[in-house]
Amino acid sequence: MSEVEQFSALIGNIYDASLDPACWPSVLQKTCEYVGGGSAGLTSQETLRSTARIHFSWGSDPHYSRLYEEKYHRLNPAFPTVLFFAVEEPHSIVPDCITRDEFCRSRFGREWLLPQGMIDGLFCNVEKSATACSTFFVTRNLSNGFADDKMRRRFALVAPHVRRAALIGKVIDLKTVEAAALADSLDTLSAGMFLVDATGRIAHANASGHRMLAEATVLRAPSGRLGAIDAQADQALLDSCTAASRGDREIGRKGIAVPLKAHDGERYVAHVLPLTSGARRPASLSYAAAATVFVQRAAPDLPSPPEVIGRAFELTPTELRVLFAIVEVGGVPEVAETLGVAKTTVRFHLRQLFDKTGTRRQADLVKLVAGFANPVGE
């Protein structure tokens, strides 16, 4: 199979997973085969590290996946640096988040990465909010070697499609949906759902979709064609529907999230799912539809507490790591052991933190972080 054929088949499989989450492990396996990786996954983690979850994975040892969720997510030195990257931007853990030497010397590197033979990896943020961050990643192990230009190029091609499928899966609450029964099964969805053809003409809408059209504050349907109130968004929506009619690959980076604006200024977002191939194709046959369009209110684009703290006090990535290690694991000896550095190094960064934040004690730093996490609390 040529690279073009392999990529095309993979994109179709990714979109199938948006309707059936049971497909994700197989999709991640095929992603590794295309990109060149030893394991891959979709994870989410609260910005202040209290919980982490590996939603779907392939190639990972279940024992170590469980350990990450239970313990090692708190010790990952790449966090919270990953929060500063925009969604969908491909990045390498090393050196974009942390130097290789620091990563290897950390407790996370010694106890979690090394036993699994993981030596490198690429990631992109799928979604960010004030409280959590979702990430797509592909790792490299000893047999693969370090990430190269070929891996980076292929990862960048796949990442937008993985993100779109994951977001659509979230819209439908990750329940298995038979493609042929798509219209019937999503009628109770709170988001507006429309089956449309290549010109945007509506073949079917769910109850929420009909309500949005009747209100006409964000969407309209002149001559039966799905359109946006805002002229610029209207064209973007039409372009995405047209691209979807030409197949999974044609939609490219368009339609990942078409921003919509209501008359009252409220923000909405539309996700376009092609229905022209794969397990999704049966949904189009009864309606001559090219795509499903999901429309819902957009979540406020609020920065996470680590981002706010880092920018407010002009902290370096290393200072942020020390700050959150103090919050997570305790005093200087524990932080030094966790990060794999000397106690004198931790004390140096602590002094920098005290100077920049105007605090005097480690307890003050903990209280500072707590205040940013819950500004109305004590």
- The pLDDT assigned to 358 comes to 94
For position 62, what pLDDT does the model report?
96
Q: Is the pLDDT of residue 54 over 80?
A: yes
Query: 198: pLDDT confidence band, cut at 50, 70 and 90?
Result: very high
Q: Which of 20, 343, 44, 35 is nearest to 168 (CA)?
A: 20
The length of the chain is 378
- Highest CATH level, class, for 179-297: alpha beta
C-alpha distances (whole Å) from 364 to each of 130, 333, 361, 371, 373 are 22, 18, 5, 10, 14
Work out the widest C-alpha separation in the chain, in whole angstroms.
71
Classify domain 305-373 at the CATH class level: mainly alpha
What are 244-254's pLDDT values in tens digits?
A: 888 777 776 55
Q: Of 40, 18, 14, 21, whose CA–CA distance to 29 is shortest?
A: 40
Q: Which residues pair with 44 in a beta bridge?
A: 53, 134
DSSP 110: I
How high is the mean pLDDT of the chain?
89
| pTM recorded for the entire structure | 0.84
Write out the two tokens for 35: 């990109």
Q: Is the pLDDT of residue 288 over 90?
A: no
* Confidence (pLDDT) at 378: 39
Check residue 301 and give its pLDDT: 67
pLDDT of residue 375: 45
55 has a pLDDT exceeding 80: yes
Q: Which CATH class is domain 3-171?
A: alpha beta
Among 225, 178, 187, 227, smallest CA distance to 205 is for 187
Q: What is the DSSP letter of 304?
A: P
Distances (CA, A) of 123 to 83, 126, 250, 303: 12, 9, 24, 19
Query: So what's the pLDDT on residue 278?
Result: 82
So what's the pLDDT on residue 101? 92
Assess whether the region 179-297 and the region 305-373 belong to the same CATH fold.
no
pLDDT tens profile 120-156: 999 999 999 888 899 999 999 998 899 999 999 999 9
Break the chain into its structural domains and give their ranges. 3-171, 179-297, 305-373
